[in-house]
Amino acid sequence: MPSILSIFVALVLLRLLYNRLRLFGIPGPWLAAYTRLWKLHSVWQGDHHHTAIDLHRKYGPLVRIGPRHVSVSDPKAIPIIYGINKGFTKTAFFPLQSISWNRKPQMNLFSARDERFHREQRRPVASAYSMTHILERESAVDTCTDLFLTQLRTMADAKASVDLGMWLQYYAFDVVGEITFAQKLGFLEQGRDVDGMIQAIRGMLAYASVCGQVPEAHPLLLGNPLFPIFLPQMESWNQVVVFTLKAINQRASLSRNGEVDKADSHDDGNDMMSRWMAIHHADPERLSTRDLIVHLSANVFAGSDTTAIALRAILYYLIHHPDAMSKVQHEVDMADQAARLSNPISYQESIAHLPYLSAVIKEAMRLHPSVGLIIERHVPAPGITLCGRHLPGGTVVGINPWVVHRDPTVFPEPESFLPERWLESGPEQLQAMEKAFFNFGAGTRSCPGKTISLLEMHKIIPQLLREFDIRTCREPSWKTKNVWFVQQEEFICYLQARSTS
């Protein structure tokens, strides 16, 4: 009679063999065909985006990175995987990036897997993310710009080095605060990580990126349903949720049953919380108190990090390409002398009069997109053919922005910083580049807050370059770590006031 150990070993070997044969013929690291340990280790190292680029250069458009996981590099696959009504659904990776409230996880627009639930959640709030509505808060964003520049001038006058990367994140946080809550979050004024929110978000991302490779482990770890029961204080560990609840309580009262008290609320402003409170009071079933908390906290969680990453990337590539820096500053100076720019520079002025800057912004986001892992989707039954290979239903596929942005057929000299490609390419090539540009995702699940990010980039970058010459004070200029978002650290710079007369 075989021992239990022998049976267990046989079952494990059969499972490994099944894993190996399931996607047989799709190339990749040999260990990845048998177990997710390869993928887990690669993500844990914090440099998976570069690993993914190297793998696709070695193996081609399809790379097996797990027993059921395939990374895709072909830009033509974007509308297939992420297109509307294609049947590709989000995987268990995404719910890990949810807040906990009322002792259970609460799905947001990013983490929700159910498409019907996502549509119902998106419908009442989507209009608040339109550029038309975001621009109604532009004057409030300008107050953030004024405060940011005041702080930078002080440091420049003192000839002190500046952790510009961190200050850009302070700026992004306060802008999100003004657009979402009609108040700054205090980062620029205090010049520090208020309530440890930046550190908390980085910790949550680090956990989600690693645990997300084996999401079945989450219910045994931070997703353990017993934790909120025996440790109800866990919800107070999430500084983003705590701040959101404080912001709501400044406008309205949260009653004991967790509902917003309409009598105490003031919701006649044009910030997102005011808009959404008005919807809630008109029809609580359309937008519940839970929905308010989830959408508001998601803005804070996602809106600062991704924008700060893009802002750092733009300045990094300009600093390391002096010719491009000179072109941008010359373009800003000429528009300024022609009285086409106000102070602070408006979004519309930047879009209309600074075309080379727009190309720089796009090229920097191409080379350093915020997301550094594949954006996972389940292949629907009965399967799909991608890049000439049939993938069975249930296979996890996805595209990594770092990989697709370096497709040489779409982006010649893909590793080179060439803003001119966005200005000088022919119509067909430009269209191909636009379709392959994956910084904000694609389809109905693309980033709803991209308008906020674009507003900040087009306003603060020309403002900084009109006023300062910027250089780094060390090489390498920064360190990067891929925790789902490819974050940069230690972007230390010197700023010197410019004279454009």
Any alpha helices (H) in 368-449, and if so which ranges?
401-404, 421-424, 427-436
Residue 290 to residues 107, 249, 253, Cα–Cα distance (Å): 10, 14, 14
- The arithmetic mean of pLDDT across residues 361-367, rounded, is 98
Give the per-residue pLDDT at 19: 67
- For tokens 């003004």, what's the residue? 178
Determine what percent of the chain falls in helix, strand and coil, rounding each to the nearest 5: 55, 10, 35
Look up residue 395 and give its two tokens: 């296979």
Give the chain's mean pLDDT.
91
Q: How far is CA 113 from CA 91, 109, 406, 467, in A?
A: 7, 9, 29, 45
Contacts of residue 150, Cβ cutoff 8 Å, sequence gap at least 6: none
Average pLDDT over residues 306-322: 97
Number of Cβ within a 10 Å radius of residue 263: 7
Q: Residue 487: pLDDT band by 50, 70, 90 thresholds?
A: very high
Q: Is 324 a residue whose pLDDT tops 70?
A: yes
Q: Is 441 left (phi over 0), alpha (psi -120 to 50) or beta?
A: left
User: Average pLDDT of 205-215?
Assistant: 94
pLDDT at 232: 58
CA distance linking residue 368 with residue 309, whole number of Å: 8
Distance of CA 189 to the CA centre of its chain: 25
Task: For residues 301-306, give the mean pLDDT.
Answer: 86
Do 206 and 200 form a contact (C-beta atoms < 8 A)?
no
Count structural domains, the chain.
1
- Report which residue type is found at 321: H
Question: Which residues contact residue 191 at a Cβ distance below 8 angstroms, ignoring those fewer than 6 apart?
Answer: 151, 167, 170
DSSP character at residue 431: H
CA distance from start to end of the chain: 92
Greatest extent of the chain over all pairs of C-alpha atoms, in Å: 92
Please report, for the domain that includes residue 128, its CATH number: 1.10.630.10
Over range 147-157, report the average pLDDT: 96
Q: What is the pLDDT of residue 243?
A: 81
Q: Place 191 in a pLDDT band, splitting at 50, 70 and 90.
A: very high
Average pLDDT rounded to a whole number, residues 372-396: 95
ω into residue 232 within 30 of 0, thus cis?
no
- What's residue 263's pLDDT? 47
**447 assigned binding-site residue:** yes
What pLDDT sits at residue 257? 55
Distances (CA, A) of 390 to 22, 26, 379, 382: 11, 10, 11, 10
Token readout for 309 is 């990453």
**Radius of gyration, alpha carbons of the chain:** 24
Q: Which residues contact 148 (CB under 8 A, 6 or more apart)?
A: 167, 170, 171, 174, 188, 460
Residue 130 has pLDDT above 90, yes or no: yes
Non-local (6+) Cβ contacts of 166 within 8 A are: 491
pLDDT band at residue 150 using 50, 70 and 90 as cut-offs:
very high
Read off the amino acid at residue 347: Y
Question: What local confidence, expressed as pLDDT, does residue 380 receive?
Answer: 96
Q: How many CB atoms sit inside 10 A of residue 72's CB?
A: 25
30 has pLDDT over 80: yes
- Asked if pLDDT for residue 478 goes beyond 60, the answer is yes
Report which of residues 223 and 138 the model is more confident about: 138
% of residues, the chain, pLDDT over 70: 93
CA–CA dist 298, 287 (Å, integer):
15
Q: For residue 58, how many C-alpha atoms fall within 13 Å in the half-sphere facing its CB? A: 13
The pTM assigned to this predicted structure is: 0.93
Residue among 265, 271, 233 nearest 249 (CA) = 265
Q: What is the pLDDT of residue 361?
A: 98
| Position 476 pLDDT exceeds 70 | yes
Q: What angle do CA 465, 439, 128 make, to 5 degrees?
A: 85
What are residue 500's phi and psi, to 5 degrees? -100, 10
Q: pLDDT class for 224, splitting at 50, 70, 90? A: confident
| Domain extent for 302 | 4-497
For residue 265, pLDDT over 80 is answered with no
* Neighbouring-strand partners of residue 494: 471
- Flag whether pLDDT at 194 surpasses 80: yes
Q: What percent of the chain has a predicted confidence (pLDDT) above 90?
A: 71
Evaluated on CA atoms 315, 321, 327, 330, the torsion sign reads positive
3-state secondary structure of 301: helix
